[in-house]
Amino acid sequence: MKLSVLDQSLARSAGEVPAALQETLQMAQWCERLGYTRFWVSEHHAFPSVAGSAPEVLLAALGAATEHIRLGSGGVMLPHYSAYKVAEVFSLLANLYPGRIDLGVGRAPGADMSTAVALATDGKPKFQRFPQLVEDLSRYLWDRTATPVVSPPPPADLPLWMLGSSPDSAVLAAQRGLPYVLGLFINPQADARLIGHYKQRFQPGLLQDKPYAILAMSVFCADSEEQARALQLTYDINLYRFFTGQSDGSSLSPREALAYTLGSQERAFIAGRENSRAVGTPAQVREQVSRLAAEHHADEVMAVTNMYYFEDRKRSFQLLREVFD
């Protein structure tokens, strides 16, 4: 099983953003030593406790902090930007760190709509133009006759990944001949047939002659099931509080989460995510990861492990890597 990591640079509070960014750098080094295939970072906006607003900036720092692990964007939210500028930025990164950069793009805003309007240079988000933006980006990356030329010239092997959690993204990835990442941690109810449909409809592209799919899923692995469940519950409660506007930018600690009284809505929210992730001891997590990867026809699993404490995240990635060796 190929294993990779998506890090979201979550801060325990808005005042701990510098620490969260340093933890991302250290986690990339840790995952490189453990033998993970890739280390990707996300893009979110207008969330005071989420440090990852500019993956391209963070990737430059990650490249300098690591030696060989592949680094990527999970992903650049393309409707906010010029396709030419994205091609230019990632061409520069790929020339800085040859053979190590993955460009993952997505259609989602990574924010609320008022923030999406603020990100658009003309105040008009371009979500409906996403397929055309992908086509433009592909041309700038791989067509040496395209004008204007990208400077510096992109390496010929710079891959473009399609990210998504709906049928539209799977179909577009297949049509464009791109590798695909299904964000199960974003949409826990994502149809298990999506990757299968992508593979059936795949048309060979310039860099990709066969379909290839990653399943991005939440993983909470610990030495005991009780500890893993406590870490998972902490994340679930904090995510629910964030989605419902109850959070002030600070996360509850595991101790606070365990003392939190769950209502019917919180319980339903947690139950809706239960079958889309792996939680427990290494043996339990291995069985759950393997089952979900098989159900979704995935070629690789990308673990999202949003635990409150840095050392718990490190231990989770260590146990996950060891149980699949």
Within the chain, strands assigned E span 2-7, 38-41, 70-73, 76-77, 101-106, 160-164, 180-183, 213-221, 278-280, 300-304
- pLDDT range class, residue 111, cuts 50, 70, 90: confident
Superfamily of domain 2-323: Luciferase-like domain (3.20.20.30)
Q: Contact at 8 Å (CB) between 1 and 301? A: yes
Could you state, in order of their start, the residue ranges of all structural domains in the chain?
A: 2-323
What is the rounded average pLDDT of the residues 177-190?
Answer: 97
Higher pLDDT, 219 or 248: 219
Count, in order, helices (H) and strands (E) of the chain: 12, 10
- Mean of pLDDT over the chain: 96
Q: Which residues of 127-143 are buried (b: 16+ CB within 10 A; e: fewer)?
A: bebbeebbebbbbbbbe
What is the rounded average pLDDT of the residues 10-24?
Answer: 94
Predicted confidence at residue 243, as pLDDT, reads 87
pTM: 0.96
